[in-house]
A and B are shown apart, each in its own frame.
Chain A
């Protein structure tokens, strides 16, 4: 073994590490300096910025930002903070106006950058600041993408938030598009277009399962009670998952036109259907189902027993029923479950 080889090796490594250390320290120094100046300017501009956002006639901020040395970054920070803490800021004309004026060029460039993180952040900001003028560029980008990766998903969300329902048809091109992404799209559409699209999705002319599931789920989530009859129709569907989703939505909507629609589900072969039927019966206090709930208390699946007992607590005489069942139900597990919920009723009254 040649000892000199090792000396040279370690000396070389040490020197290159020192060089790297030097470079990184310098970089850190510069970055810290830049950040400090940005923070200073941010602090300086906060007051006039807030005042401008509340009253656009106070235009001190416009003058100050136009001569700022870190113009775009400071403005981005200010706007980002503003939209994060202010409700209803999505429609603020000042946010749109400021971002369109100062950030459009920067974002156009950033969308073409090689860094994935920068492109992603830009998409988030465009959505938050509602920058409509970038719509054509984003559309072009979406047409060019052929994989539903994270960036394309965010691109779809951003474009939808700029009120472009075409994203739904783009999404339909991907057979594996997740339900959650369709829901994100519905959420971002303007109300009138949203209702139209939900209606189309329920009709399901193109046989898009994920889209239909998303529509049913979204209607429940947001309580669009007008769609109740349509959701109830889905209870008769052949698709088990869709029926479960419909039951879930009815539970959220807290309404059912005819309680007898529920009857078949209490004895369904699917435990999820039994569970949701029990939950709905409880939530809507459908006392005609008290007996079947007592039966389901002895179901073979824990979740069904749990939900049935929980449902019984919703009735005015729930405590008496549960106390009776905890002593007299033929099934041991049912008695345990009844005891647990009876105790929880006592606990909540303490």
Chain B
């Protein structure tokens, strides 16, 4: 009895892992053409046209900050250097306990102003609004603590322009990053309401004055694995979903939104840690319910660099938070799941995120359990454990290794042959150490979703710009 149960479970998980591997390949096939098509474009040329066009929509840049005294000034400085015809920068100090506001006020000679803003979305109490006397389009909101989503909503209330983007304090946007991300919006004359820009890991590379000078790999295996993970997620998953107009994630690090639409949807949701994904799903829902032709698009070209955690502790809390956010979003919008009324978002991407991104961890965990049980405790036939082992390697290591190769085939952003070799061989080790760790943390994340408490993620920053 017990044996046949485990046999059944094993067959199911093996089938699941094989099916997921195949679906990854299918998704990549969809994305491949677009990556290949646009990769060799001389981008200075293609964005130049927009830069000179005065009808390019102005953008408000929101920087939510909580205890960011180390990085906030350099983030704002890098934003000032962005090539864009008309922009404003709004830093929202969400009740920091350190000197975040003071740093801003001193550096940019800010003075308090009685700003008459519109409350589109209710937020925690606004304590004061400051404006720089050097750059009048740089503002600071000091408010009571209310979480990242609340900070972003306050930023939306204060912003004056029709589009906004949100950028984390630990990210560096490339000089032409904003114009590249706005390009689909401008060229579609507003039919695209959200664009997400590809985010890359900055560790190892040299960045100065918002420009990546030398692209190199970091030494730390944990960070290398995260780079491989990004390849896998961005090249395989997101791009394909964007092609089908069913992308559910616009990375927390960089996205541009149509403000009116966001306000209409009710702004960021304060009750989830995955506020960016939740908002995108809500916008999808709005579009489908209105039967609108507007869409959400993803820009494959990297525009934004972020610092990946090097310590396992920080990585752990990040992954638990991500998984919890994913769970909360899927739960909030469970009505869309497998509901034909929501088109491909309901029929393909919601199930994709549920079965592959969320529950994948559970199935993989059971897989590892059966491997151990089979080899050491004769829980199942060792042959079946062996098959499970092979399929786990296929799913964990080979797909990642393939992602590395596909990146080289299309984008080849890491310049040296040794980079390619290192990435490839580290990818092969994934199933043996990195994936099991992720699986455990992701399961913890699912549990964490049941014990709600929104808070800012803790990240020990070293600073990525020199």
Which of chain A's residues has its CB closest to B133's CB?
A347
Assuming the A-B contacts A32-B415, A179-B55, A347-B111, are A120 and B390 also in contact, with contact meaning beta carbons closer than 8 angstroms in the complex?
A: no
At the interface, yes or no: B40 with Cβ under 8 Å from chain A?
Answer: yes
For A179, the chain B residues whose CB sits under 8 A away are 55
On chain B, the residues within 8 Å of A1 by CB distance are: 11, 14, 383-384, 387
Stretch touching chain A among B87-95, B113-121, B282-290, B309-317: B113-121
Chain B residues near A184: list those with CB within 8 A: 49, 53
CB distance from A21 to the nearest CB of B (A): 6
Roughly how many angstroms separate A286 CA and B298 CA in the complex, as a whole number? 47
The reply on B125 being an interface residue by CB < 8 A is: no
- Interfacial chain A residues near B136, Cβ < 8 Å: 344, 348
Chain A residues within an 8 Å CB radius of B52: 187
Query: How distant is B102 from chain A, measured CB to nearest CB, in Å?
Result: 18
Q: Does B41 contact A (CB under 8 A)?
A: yes
* Pairwise interchain contact B387-A339, C-beta atoms closer than 8 A: no
Residue-wise, chain A 117-131 has the 8 Å CB interface mask toward B (1 for contact) of 110110010001000
A interface majority secondary structure: helix
Least Cβ–Cβ distance between A161 and chain B, in angstroms: 11
Are A120 and B111 interface neighbours, CB within 8 A?
A: no
Check: A68 CB closer than 8 A to any chain B CB.
no
Is B113 a contact of A117 with CB atoms below 8 Å?
no
- Per-residue CB contact flags for chain B residues 34-63 toward chain A (1 = under 8 Å, else 0) read 000111111011100100111100000000
Contact indicator per residue, chain B 105-138, by CB within 8 Å of chain A (1) or not (0) = 0000001011110100000000000010100100
Contacts of B401 in A (CB 8 A): 17
Kindly identify, within residues 1 to 35 of chain A, every residue whose CB is under 8 Å from any CB belonging to chain B. Answer: 1, 3, 6-7, 9-10, 13-14, 17, 20-21, 24-25, 28-29, 32
How far apart sit A25 and B404, CA to CA, in the bound complex (Å)? 12
| Cβ contact within 8 Å between A340 and B113 | yes
The smallest beta-carbon distance between B261 and chain A, in angstroms, is: 18
Inter-subunit contact B387/A3 (CB<8 Å): yes
Query: Quick one: closest A residue to B55, CB to CB?
Result: A180
B405 touches A221 (CB 8 A): no
Query: Are the CB atoms of B415 and A348 closer together than 8 Å?
Result: no
Judge if A333 is at the interface, Cβ distance under 8 Å: yes
Cα A17 to Cα B133 with chains together (Å): 58
Q: Which of A10, A32, A150, A180 contacts B53 (CB 8 A)?
A: A180
Give complex CA distance A350, B186 in Å. Answer: 38
Q: Which of chain B's residues have a CB closer than 8 A to the CB of A124? A: 42, 45-46
> Count the B residues whose beta carbon is within 8 Å of the partner chain — how many?
50
Interface residue? A157 (CB, 8 A): yes
Residue of B nearest to A303 (CB): B160
B209 at the interface (CB under 8 A from A): no
Pair B393/A25 contact, Cβ less than 8 Å? no
Are A121 and B402 closer than 8 Å at their CB atoms? Answer: no
- B405 lies within 8 A of A305 (CB): no
Q: Is there contact, CB below 8 Å, between A20 and B405?
A: yes
A327 adjacent to chain B (CB < 8 Å): no
Provide the bound-state CA to CA distance between A337 and B118, in Å.
11
Judged by a CB distance under 8 angstroms, whether B408 is at the interface is yes
B409 nearest CB neighbor, chain A only: A24
Contact at A115–B40, with CB atoms within 8 Å?
yes
A334 closest partner in B (C-beta): B116
Other-chain contact of B421, A25, A84, A180 (Cβ < 8 Å):
A25
Cβ of B441 < 8 Å from any Cβ of A? no
Q: Is the CB of B405 within 8 A of A116?
A: no
Instruction: Say whether, besides A25-B417, A117-B37, A117-B38, A348 and B133 are in contact (CB < 8 Å).
Output: yes
Q: Is there contact, CB below 8 Å, between A336 and B116?
A: yes
B40, B55, B189: the one within 8 Å of A183 (CB): B55
> How near does chain B come to A89, taking the closest CB pair, in angstroms?
14
Residues of B410-438 at the interface with A, using a CB-CB cut-off of 8 Å, are: 412, 415-417, 420-421, 424
Which residue of the partner chain B has the closest CB to A178? B189
CA distance A14 to B428 in the complex (A): 10
Nearest Cβ in chain A — how far from B284, in angstroms? 25
Q: Is B394 an interface residue (CB 8 A)?
A: yes
Name the B residues within 8 Å of A21 (CB-CB): 405, 420-421, 424
4 closest A-B pairs (Cβ-Cβ)? A117-B40, A124-B45, A336-B116, A337-B116
